Structure 1
Amino acid sequence: MAFSITPGTSNLLDTLLGDTTGLSDFSLTTIGSSQAFGQFTDDPFGLGSGIVLSTGKVAEIPGENTLSVYDFDLNHDFAPTALPGYSSGELGDNIQLDLSFFADSSVEKLFFNYVFGSEEFREYGGSPFNDSFELLLNGINLAKLSDGQNVTINNLVPSYDNPSLDHPDYINNPVGSGVNTKLDGYTRTLGFEGLLAQNNRNTLSIRIKDVGDGWLDSAVFIQAGSVGTVPVTAPGVSVPEPSLLLGLLAMGSFGLFGGLKKKQGL
């Protein structure tokens, strides 16, 4: 089989959930064009299968990286006023998935595995075109690189002119690489780990947003069956260093729950 993506919002919840012992009463909602969501199989990142969110059309992500651009402004396809934080006529796509559920007293943490990729690599490393990506558990962003930094374009590629500064979690995908995705770069598999609010309702929000323009799209891939209370093994999973992660998780226990450039052929 070859890497393929089926666009749409159907069956996303069933695909995501793995061992959910201690969790119940699930609900899932999406914000944004249905073309920005989908399910993938046989991906080139090592996840196997799962769901994808993108600021562009997910069906266009598979395919060898060439001089063509993964480049869609979905706001031209439906009203920007339907998206929180957008005013009429503003460029950019703001895509969000919210997973809500109840956690009992027997479980402490939520886990899953993911990969972030973008067409903004490498050309726009260190520029204002720094697409935003967040994984929030009860309002706390736990989308972190292995050293605890936020997962952003600029943290992965601080400078287009100096590849030696690239983050070790970054994998470049130049033209002609033979990798079956049009994205110019992506992370290795990263692990999400967050403290749950016990005996309470919890919300996981996955957000991805164009910054500076509505083009040169980004995407996040969540491994099928990895969202749950037991971590799922995936090749090369990278999680933040324990001291950094504990500091981030401790924040939650104190009540904090709740004119565009075009890509060059480089």
Structure 2
Amino acid sequence: MKKKIALALSLLFPLPAFSSLTITTTNNGSDLANALQGAGVTISNVALQGAQTQQGFFSGGLSAGIGFESGIILTTGDANSAVGPNTNSNSTTTDSGSDTDLGALINATVLDANVLEFDFQSDSGNISFNYVFASEEYNEFVNSNFNDVFGFFLDGVNIALIPGTSAPVSINNVNLDVNSIFYQNNENAFFNVQYDGFTTVLNASFSGLSNGNHHIKLAIADATDSALDSAVFLQAESFSSSTVPLPPAIWLFGSVLAGFGLIKPRKNYLNKI
């Protein structure tokens, strides 16, 4: 019966040919910010906190299953390790320091912080951009203290929120059991990225900005310890004064198969260190 279901689904949803991401690391914050810049915004005063290979550019995101083709990646480890398939658990200590804003979001110590921040002006008073959060902390450490977190702080206020809520996006707030409509399980290595799970493409936006300069801080960090890495992918040229449409959901086929039990998740019993 399952074989018949799989055949029918493959006709309705042709399976995409997933291939690997391409990552190019950089420690040039201005280049990263310029890659994000879209229509209707100007950027200045860029600052970057991160180790040499902690952040960079990526391409091949659509074929790998991320949901958009290219952009920048910020990680709590080595950005090169984002490339799939998901065959091991990445755990890199970067000694890049902490971040008080992220620590306040989850009331915990954060480590290996990666922060890109800059001033900007919007010609419409609006700002919007698209992103995906991914982590090796899935699914074993959901509802634990190892709650890797990120935030997009607009003039000090986090706008990286679960749609329709005031809750920040983190592994405890988006997973197989909570807000699962926004979650993609990759423990079965269906998607060709190394992380055990990641969100669907989400949008961060704000309307009604006053004239003049505003400040955005894009930050991600490990929580409690440095073991197991997380990342945030940001779509190229989506930081703009108008909303860039969300890309097609090419991951739908995998979700449907998982729902029918046709993809079996693997178990990972890695101990935290």
Output the TM-score relative to the length of structure 2: 0.74
Q: Is the 1:189–1:236 contact (alpha carbons within 8 Å) kept by the matching residues of 2?
A: no
Measured at CA, do residues 94 and 224 of structure 1 come closer, stay the same or move farther in structure 2, by a change above 3 Å?
same
Q: CA deviation at 1:201?
A: 1.3
C-alpha deviations, 1:190-209, integer Å up to 9, x for none? Answer: 01111353222101101111
Whether the 8 Å contact between 2:20 and 2:193 is mirrored in structure 1 is no
Greater mean alpha carbon deviation, residues 223-232 or residues 192-201: 192-201
SS at match of 1:26: strand
Structure 2 CA distance, aligned partners of 1:133 and 1:91?
10
Aligned to 2:174: 156
1:10-159 to structure 2, matched below 5 A, reads 10=28, 11-20=31-40, 23-24=41-42, 26-43=44-61, 44-66=65-87, 68-75=88-95, 80=97, 92-103=111-122, 106-148=123-165, 149-157=167-175
Post-superposition shift, 1:53? Answer: 0.3
Question: Which residue of 219, 227, 242 maps to 2:239?
Answer: 227
Task: Tell me, yes or no, if the aligned pair for 2:125 and 2:207 is still in contact at 8 Å.
Answer: yes
SS of alignment partner, residue 111 of structure 2: coil
Which runs of 5 or more residues in structure 2 are unaligned? 1-18, 104-108, 250-267
Q: For the Cα contact (< 8 Å) 1:92–1:215, is it kept in 2?
A: no
**Does the alignment pair 1:184 with 2:196?**
yes
CA contact (8 A) 2:23 2:56 kept: yes
For residues 90-110 of structure 1, the C-alpha deviation after alignment (integer angstroms, 9 at most, x for no partner) is 98211111021234xx51210
What secondary structure does 2:223 align onto? Answer: coil
Conservation of the 8 A alpha-carbon contact between 1:51 and 1:222:
yes
The secondary structure found in structure 1 opposite 2:80 is helix
C-alpha contact 2:43 2:118 (8 A) present in aligned 1: no
8 Å Cα contact 2:27-2:50 kept in structure 1:
no
Q: Structure 1 155/164 Cα, relative in aligned 2: closer, same or farther at 3 Å?
A: closer
Report the 3-state secondary structure (helix = DSSP H, G, I; strand = E; otherwise coil) of the residue aligned with 1:92. Answer: strand
Percent identity over paired residues: 30
Amino acid at match of 1:231: T
Report the CA distance between 1:164 and its aligned residue. 4.3
Q: Find the aligned partners of 2:99 and 2:202 in 1 and give their Cα distance.
A: 28
**1 CA distance for matches of 2:71 and 2:114?**
17
Give the corresponding residue for 1:218.
230
Please give the alpha-carbon distance, in whole angstroms, between the structure 2 residues aligned to 1:202 and 1:59. 32
- CA contact under 8 A between 2:99 and 2:110: conserved in structure 1? no
Q: Structure 2 vs 1, CA of residues 209 and 164 (structure 1 numbering), >3 Å: closer, same or farther?
A: closer
Contact 2:27 2:51 in 1 (8 A): no
CA contact (8 A) 1:101 1:203 kept: yes
Distance 2:125 2:59 in 1: 30
Q: CA deviation at 1:134?
A: 0.5
- Matched letter for residue 171 of structure 1: Q
Say if 1:65 and 1:135 are closer, same or farther in 2 by CA, change over 3 A. Answer: same
Partner SS for 1:5: strand
With over 3 angstroms needed to count, the CA separation of the structure-2 counterparts of 1:114 and 1:3, relative to structure 1, is: same
Q: Show structure 1 runs of 5+ residues with no match.
A: 158-162, 238-262
**Count of residue pairs the alignment pairs up:** 221
Q: CA deviation at 1:25?
A: 5.2
> How far apart are 1:146 and its partner, in Å?
1.9
Say which of 210, 213, 217 aligns to 1:205: 217
The list of structure 1 runs, each at least 4 consecutive aligned residues, that deviate by more than 6 angstroms after superposition, is none
- TM-score (norm: length of structure 1): 0.76
Counterparts in 2 of 1:26 and 1:147: CA distance versus 1, 3 Å: same
